[in-house]
Every structure is written in C-alpha cells, then in structure tokens.
Amino acid sequence: MAIIQIRGLRKSYRVYQKQEGLLASFRGLFHREYREVEAVRGIDLDVEQGEFVAFLGPNGAGKTTTLKLLSGVISPTAGEATVMGFTPWQRANEYRRRFALVMGQKNQLWWDLPAAESFRLHQQIYRLPPDEYDRTTAELTDLLSVGKLLNQPVRELSLGERMKMELIAALLHRPEVLFLDEPTIGLDVVAQHKIQQFLKHYQETRGTTVLLTSHYMKDIAALCRRVVIIANGRLMYDGSLAGIVDRFSGHKVLTLQFADDAMPTDLARFGEPLDVQPPKARIKVERERIADVLSSVLSGYQVADVSVEDPPLEEVIAEMFATAEDVSDSQELAAVST
Amino acid sequence: MSSTTTNPTGFSSAWIIFRTCVEERLVYRGDFALGTLMRFLPIITQIFLWTAVYTAAGGSINGYTRNDVIAYYLLTMLGRAFSSMPGLASGIAGQIRSGEIKKFLIQPIDLLHYLLLARVAHKLVYYAVAAGPFALVFWLCGDYFPPWPDGPTWVAFLLSLLMGFVLGFFLEATLGMIGFWFLEVSSLLFFYMLANFFFSGHMFPLEFLTNSVPPWFASLLWFQPLQFLAYFPSAVYLGKITGPELWQGLALQAAWVVFFYTTARVAMHRGYNRYSGFGG
C-alpha cells in the first residue's frame, strides 16, 4: 500500500476582491465581494515508501497548498488523503511525531536563542530518548558541517546556515515522511549544492519518503526520479524528468555547422532560426519534420557538423506553464461570460 | 547541547519549554529591566492625585478613605502583575497572520499549553526583577495600608491572585484566537483595554462606579469577569469583601476561569479547522 494516498483532493479559498480607490474602500465596509479561488482541483496521487518526488509548477499552481493539506496545516474542501494511514488534518499526535515539514521561507527555530536550544526543545516535544537524540544531532550537524554554529543565536546566522539548522531540527525525530517546500529558496549556488547533497545522502541512507517543491531545476534533477507537475491546481504530469520533454515538447533543436560560405540564406524554410552566426546556426524544427529537414540540408549543402538535441528542460516546462495559464484564463473567461 | 539524561516525559517537556522561555526572556535584558522599572513611576502621580481629590472631597468616598484608595491602587498593581498579559492576544493574532502558527499545527505540541508555560516563565522573570522595587514601594507606602489581614483573608487573597493570572491568560488567549476569523484584532484589543481600564477596577475601586450607574448596570458589574483582574484581590486584602460574599466571589472567579479556558480551547480547535495557512 502506498505511504501517501490522495484521492480527489480539493481546496478552495474565498478571497476578498477589493477595487482600487478610497470610495471602494468605504463601500467595502458594508458590502464585500468575494471570489472563490480553487487552489487544488481534484488531485489523485500515490507515493510509495522511500520515493523522492518533486512537485513542479508555476507560482500559485497549488504545490504548497497540497503540502499544507498533507501536513495537516489546512483542511480540504473535498476529497481524501492518508499519509502512513493517518488523515493529516485530524492532526493526531502519533502522526505529527512521524513527519516533518520544512518551509524555505518560514522559520521554526527560536530567533533569539542558539539553534542548540531549539534542538533540545524538539527533543522534548518529540519525546526522543537521550542517546538517540545525541546520536542523530551529532550525525546531522556533522553532515551539514554546522557544529561550530550551534551556540550562536539563530538571528546571527546566514540564510544558508539557518536553513541547515532548520533541516536538522526537522530531522531530529527521524521522520518517515518529509515535506520540503522550496528548501533552497534564496540560497547561493554553493549553499544550494550542499543542501542538495545532504538531502540526497540522507534520503538514500534512511529511505525517507520525500515530497519536494522547488523552482530550481537543479534541485529536482539532482534529487528526484519522479516528477509531478501541478498547474492550476491539477495534476498535469507524473513521470520522469526526461519524460517531460518527450511528452510536452513538439520540437527539437538542430545545430548545423556549414562548410565555408555554404550556409543558405533562407534558413527559415527549415524551421525557426534561434541563433545564426555563420557558419553556425541553431534552428528549432518540429519533431515530425526533423527527418525531412535533415535529409534536405545534408543533400543540398556542405555540412561540417550536425547535432539534433531536445530543447532545454526549463524551456519546455516554461512553455507548458504558459499554455496551462492560457487555458486557465480562457476557462475563467468562459465561466464569467456564462 | 547535551540532551537530558532521561527519557522525555510530559513534565520534562514542560520544564524545558519553561527554561527555554526564561532564557529567551533574558536576551533583551536592558529593555526588560527598564520596562519593569518604568511601571512604578505612575505611583507617585496617583498619590498626588488622590491626596488632591480627598482634600477637596473630605473624609471618605464610597467607604474608601484616602489611605484606602492609595493602598487599593498599589494592590491593583500587584493584582495586575499577575493578571495582565502584555502581548499575548496580539502575539497569537500576529502569529496567525504571519503564518508562524503553522509550527503548532505541525508539531505534537498544544498551543495553549505552550503559551501558558511561556507566560509563567515570563511572569517569574518579571517577578524576579520587580520583587525588589515592589517590596521597596510597599515598605515606603506602609502607612497607607490597614493592619495585616488574618489567615483566611490571606488565603483568599493569594487564591484570587493566582486565579487572576489564569483568568487573564485564558481571556486574552480567547481574544487572540479571534484572529483566526478576523486576522486583525488590534481594534478589538483597544476596546478590551478600555473596558479593562474601567471595569477591572484598575484605576479606582468599582464601588465608585457602581454607586453612580443604574442598578441593573451595577449588578452586571458585580458579575463581569474583568473585576477579578484587579478589583477583587485588592478589595479582599483590604477587607472590603468578607464572609459569604468572599467565597461567592471566589466561586464566581473560578467559574469564569473554567468558562474562558473552555472558550479558548474551543476557539483554538475551530480556528485550526478554519485556518487557511496564510503567509506562504
């Protein structure tokens, strides 16, 4: 049985619509207009124990809302979900002792006290036996190289150091399920890389089930074999990272290096020229035309080198998100006009 | 950073939370010490004010002499040192608004239990700093006080102070929980502060008020909970409330404690279910 089971999960919010201006503000005192925003629109998902799954999607897609639902921070409007057999929004203590949520933009540590004090508090809150607590703390601080910072007030730590401490605090009770909401947001490349390495190592050695949301493709490529794409509150894709390009990209990128003065002037007839610096050119070609284009280029011109590549993943995903937003806009327009 | 040597229990958790809150309280020691000492300044103006009032009005107002009123004022300061909860309601509402409250939904910890421990810690640190100045002020103003009360009055006085602390805590916690519905509670807190100012007997004995309002309103004032935050313990100490009235008063105070404990808990659970996870 899957460790996380989600069936028809929905969450909608009522959002106050305030018009611009002073008059509208006064009107708002007596009569308010609300709009129903559907953050999650019926998600079905199964996650097996030990999987490292990435939630990918544009801002406002419903990723964080889904993590909040699974960690019991909010209750759904409809649908069901179980994590380790528990219904998250019932907030049973047995459940809360077995998972952790880390939000990159939120601080769970005591701001004015050293992280060591927060850890000690967590030991008590999660009722961790002293030897287990000592062992875990030593191991985690060692892995993240923060031993020297434990007695420094949290407010005096850098963002990267603070994030490491947040991770330690969240992992002290050895959660079986870990929800990570943009854990590397705002960090520099070095800090991002360190946290990625740590999460990879930790998940592999412990077999923890992890759900991660991130905007950094590098995080996802480094950590997750399975990617779930959510846009407009719906699940759009569930599979491997590489599979995204196969499924959502309708074109390939053809790079040609022509022999001296052999470059044709009308490259546009092969596809959309992306970058032309004679004798080199990059052309975006529709997938179904790639064989024809290649044969006519190779038979008609002197070509020194050729390569056919998939477009960059970021580009495919950005296109997909843009399409999803257009669809959503047109649906909303249709809803308004009916 | 060594851990405790025994397995954590409910008691050790409470102790560590308490200890951590004390440590946190001591971080900004300068601001804390200054804030504590500044609270004693209004005493001087109050003594001058009531001396002027009694010079004009003569011997006694509603059964209180000048000395009674000054002693009463000093005792309400003591009562409020137990019952006032600076920053509690606004802190809860602020945490709801900013999303920090999530911590208590995710971790196996009870918000009210935690806040109560934190408040006990804050109060004890406050008493440690304020005990000296309090003792000095009470010694200097010793002549305003009547002779020491008897044993049962002392017991009733201390009991009303302790219940005043618990009542103040759960009353303000309930106000803070309203943040789950309205997000911004500062106007509500202003109204509460205003009501507290008059109806807790913070500035003058409630008899001054009840003798000059319609009888129905006066009887309401004798039932309302705010009186137990300042008026009741002071009046008990001064021997203004005795016999069956005293024990009835304590029973009413206990009933309000139970009422606001239940309200705060129900509001917390309903608020949790209503919570939308603001603040990202």
- Alpha carbon B229 to chain centroid, angstroms: 5
> Residue for token digits 């528990």?
A86
In this complex, do B13 and A91 lie within 8 Å of one another by their Cβ atoms?
A: no
Q: Is B52 on the interface with A (CB under 8 A)?
A: no
Residue of B nearest to A66 (CA): B277
Task: Give residue A315's pLDDT.
Answer: 78
Percent pLDDT > 90 in chain A is 41
- Average pLDDT value for chain B: 88
Q: Is A121 on the interface with B (CB under 8 A)?
A: yes
Percent pLDDT > 70 in chain A is 96
CATH topology of domain A4-245: Rossmann fold (3.40.50)
> Residue for token digits 């490529």?
A221
> Residue for token digits 């290649």?
A294
Side-chain-side CA neighbours of B107 within 13 Å: the count stands at 25
pLDDT over threshold 50, residue A74: yes
When pLDDT is averaged across residues B18-47 and rounded to a whole number, the result is 77
Mutate to test the interface with A, among B102, B180, B181 (most CBs of A within 10 A): B102
- Does B152 or A218 have the greater pLDDT score? B152
Percent pLDDT > 70 in chain B is 97
Distances (CA, A) of B198 to A188, B195, B210, B227: 56, 5, 11, 9
The Cα–Cα gap between B92 and B97 comes to 9
> What is the rounded end-to-end Cα distance, in angstroms, of chain B?
32
Where in chain B are the domains?
10-274
Tokens representing residue B232 in the block: 């009741």
> Residue for token digits 């804390």?
B32
Global ipTM = 0.78
Task: Give residue A338's pLDDT.
Answer: 34
DSSP B168: H
Question: Which residues does chain B have within 8 Å of residue A91's beta carbon, measured at their own beta carbons?
Answer: 105, 272
- Average pLDDT value for chain A: 86
pLDDT over threshold 80, residue B249: yes
Task: Give residue B129's pLDDT.
Answer: 81
The Cα–Cα gap between B193 and B211 comes to 23
Q: How far is A317 from chain B (nearest CA, A)?
A: 23
Task: Give residue A334's pLDDT.
Answer: 47
Tokens representing residue B71 in the block: 């002693």
pLDDT band at A333 (very low <50, low <70, confident <90, very high): very low
- pLDDT for A126-155, tens place per residue? 999 999 999 999 999 999 989 899 999 888
> Residue for token digits 């011997």?
B59
* Residue B278 near residue B97, CB atoms below 8 Å: yes
Task: Give residue B16's pLDDT.
Answer: 83
DSSP B240: S
Task: Give residue A33's pLDDT.
Answer: 77
The Cα–Cα gap between B261 and B110 comes to 14
Beta strands A209-213 and A52-56: pairing type?
A: parallel
- Does A337 or A82 have the greater pLDDT score? A82
Task: Give residue A325's pLDDT.
Answer: 66
Quick one: chain A helix, strand, coil %, rounded to 5? 40, 30, 30
When pLDDT is averaged across residues B197-207 and rounded to a whole number, the result is 88
Where in chain A are the domains?
4-245, 250-309
* Residue A49 near residue A209, CB atoms below 8 Å: yes
Residue A227, phi then psi, degrees to nearest 5 = -125, 135
Question: Which residues does chain B have within 8 Å of residue A124's beta carbon, measured at their own beta carbons?
Answer: 4, 8, 12-13, 16-17
Tokens representing residue A160 in the block: 């990267």
pLDDT over threshold 70, residue A335: no
Classify A250-309 by CATH class.
alpha beta
When pLDDT is averaged across residues A103-128 and rounded to a whole number, the result is 86
Residue of A nearest to B109 (CA): A125
* Residue B76 near residue B201, CB atoms below 8 Å: yes
Question: Nearest 10 degrees: CA dihedral of A75, A81, A85, A90?
Answer: 10
In this complex, do B1 and A73 lie within 8 Å of one another by their Cβ atoms?
A: no
- pLDDT for B81-130, tens place per residue? 999 999 999 999 999 988 889 989 999 999 999 999 999 998 998 888 88
- pLDDT for B51-85, tens place per residue? 888 888 878 888 888 888 999 999 999 999 999 99
Task: Give residue A337's pLDDT.
Answer: 38
Tokens representing residue A159 in the block: 């963002």
Task: Give residue A262's pLDDT.
Answer: 76
Residues with Cβ < 8 Å from B163, sequence gap 6 or more?
Answer: B228, B250, B253, B254, B257
Question: Which residues does chain B have within 8 Å of residue A128's beta carbon, measured at their own beta carbons?
Answer: 3, 8
- pLDDT for B174-194, tens place per residue? 999 999 998 778 888 999 999
Number of Cβ within 10 Å of residue A216's Cβ equals 16
In this complex, do B279 and A65 lie within 8 Å of one another by their Cβ atoms?
A: no
The pTM of the full predicted model, rounded to 2 decimals, is 0.82
